[in-house]
Amino acid sequence: MDGSQSSRVSVHRHDDALGTWSVASCTPCPALAAHVSTLWFGAGQVRYQRDRILPSSNCFLLINLGPRQYLIEPGPPERRIAFDDIWYCGPQQSPIDTEAPHGSVLLGVAFRASGVRPWLHADASECAERVLPLSALLGDSVQGLRQRLLETSDAGTRFDLVEAWLLSRLDERYRPSTWVCNALQRIAASAGQVAIASLVAEAGVSRKHFAERFAVEVGIGAKSMARILRFQRALELLPRHQRVPWAELAAHCGYYDQSHLIRDFRVFSGYSPEDFLQRDMPDSNSLVVR
């Protein structure tokens, strides 16, 4: 990678009972910063069977450059769906289980909540709660991007290729509304505790128009986004190796009471808070299921 890019890239290496892997994370170039929060390239092998990816404020472009991986579709009956090319993951309000039995070589792009439409050229709501091949949305020509990535082994060059491809697709006609961006900033700054009514008032539109436009540009509603960010804040503050003051944590994160915190843990992770604590976390947004 060139000198200007090296200042944007950091590398993390992991080696313990969970597995061995390395991840290069890249801050997006200025022209993409409004749409993309980060790019990453990871390779390695885990020593467990299944990951559970937790809901977040991001959507993802996932490009498999190595062995076949699997998306687990809940049942009954449960299904393993092969993932071996390029997939897009829209906004999610449920966890996603994956398996990589033969190791992983993956390049990913994490899009900001309002960053999808300018390059996808479709309403974000069309892909909400969905994980699907990118070719189903943009056609088979996207495989050319993956082939170019396979032809180089340098992470920096790969980041350059993906950024150039995304930049070539940006369309001003799909630029996010200023008031939607402002609402998202307010939700994030408050860690999901801002009143939705105040966001509607600040936007200066009707509640119906606010809800409809927010869903078009983000994929989920403002209330759902706030719930996800409250849950993410609770994860940040969760002490994993000592007694947890659940009622205090719930109050600090803006939950009405402890039962609402427990409900959101079950919805977003599939586990009660106590069961959640028994699970290893390979990173800040995933759990070891088994």
Tokens of 221: 């509603």
In angstroms, the CA 91 to CA 185 distance is 17
Domains of the chain by range and CATH?
3-173 (2.60.120.10), 178-288 (1.10.10.60)
88 touches 109 (CB < 8 A): no
Residues with Cβ within 8 Å of residue 98, at least 6 apart in sequence: 50, 51, 53, 69, 70, 71, 72, 83
Q: Please choose, from the candidates 183, 270, 266, 251, the residue with its C-alpha nearest in 3D space to the C-alpha of residue 223.
A: 183
Q: What is the pLDDT of residue 3?
A: 43
Query: What is the helix, strand, coil percentage profile of the chain, to 5?
Result: 40, 25, 35
In angstroms, the CA 224 to CA 121 distance is 23
Peptide bond into 76 cis (omega under 30): yes
DSSP 3-state assignment of 5? helix
Length of the chain: 290
Q: What are phi and psi for residue 95, nearest 5 degrees?
A: -70, 160
Q: Please choose, from the candidates 213, 222, 206, 230, the residue with its C-alpha nearest in 3D space to the C-alpha of residue 178.
A: 213
DSSP 3-state assignment of 150? helix
DSSP 3-state assignment of 67? coil
Helices (H), 219-287: 222-237, 246-252, 258-269, 273-276
Q: Furthest-apart CA pair in the chain: how many Å?
A: 53
Helix (H) or strand (E) holding 36: strand 36-46
CA-derived radius of gyration, the chain: 19
Q: Please choose, from the candidates 126, 116, 213, 220, the residue with its C-alpha nearest in 3D space to the C-alpha of residue 171.
A: 116
Q: What are phi and psi for residue 38, nearest 5 degrees?
A: -165, 160
Mean pLDDT by 10 residues, the chain (290 residues): 69 94 96 96 95 96 97 91 95 96 97 96 94 94 95 94 97 95 97 96 96 96 97 86 82 92 95 90 91
* Owner of token pair 């590398």: 11
